[in-house]
């Protein structure tokens, strides 16, 4: 009789242990699946950051330590100017617009 009780206790402990083990396996599989999802998401975020940093560099901006974009320093003594100069003869040759020859509302009624 003692042997039967021992076998029943052992069987009961084994069933409980198997249930816990199955629960832990399901939990682990769910966590591993979530981890894989976040790894994919992280890789996409890293690609986007790389793309955005390239765009910043393309437009002459740098990313500071505080995470804010700042324009690259330009020498204060350097000025780039493009000017087009017209002579007075060129100004005289500019055509004047033709006067408006359309009839006003008052003239059409008369």
Region 38-47 average pLDDT: 96
In percent, how much of the chain has pLDDT > 90?
Answer: 39
Q: Which of 8-12, 18-22, 34-38, 62-66 has the least mean pLDDT?
A: 62-66
pLDDT of 93 strictly over 70: no
- Beta carbons of 72 and 60 less than 8 angstroms apart: yes
Region 54-72 average pLDDT: 77
Cα angle 3, 4, 8; round to 5: 115
pLDDT of 94 strictly over 80: no
What pLDDT band is residue 17 in, cutting at 50, 70 and 90? very high
């Amino acid at each position: 009789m003692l042997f039967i009780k021992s076998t029943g206790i052992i069987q009961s402990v084994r069933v409980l242990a198997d249930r816990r083990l199955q629960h832990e396996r399901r939990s682990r599989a769910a966590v591993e699946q979530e981890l894989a999802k976040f790894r994919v998401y992280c890789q996409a975020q890293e690609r986007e950051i790389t793309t955005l940093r390239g765009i910043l560099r393309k437009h002459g901006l740098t990313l500071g330590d505080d995470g804010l974009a700042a324009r690259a320093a330009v020498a204060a003594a350097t000025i780039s100017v493009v000017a087009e100069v017209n002579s007075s003869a060129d100004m005289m040759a500019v055509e004047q617009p033709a006067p408006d020859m359309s009839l006003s509302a008052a003239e059409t009624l008369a």
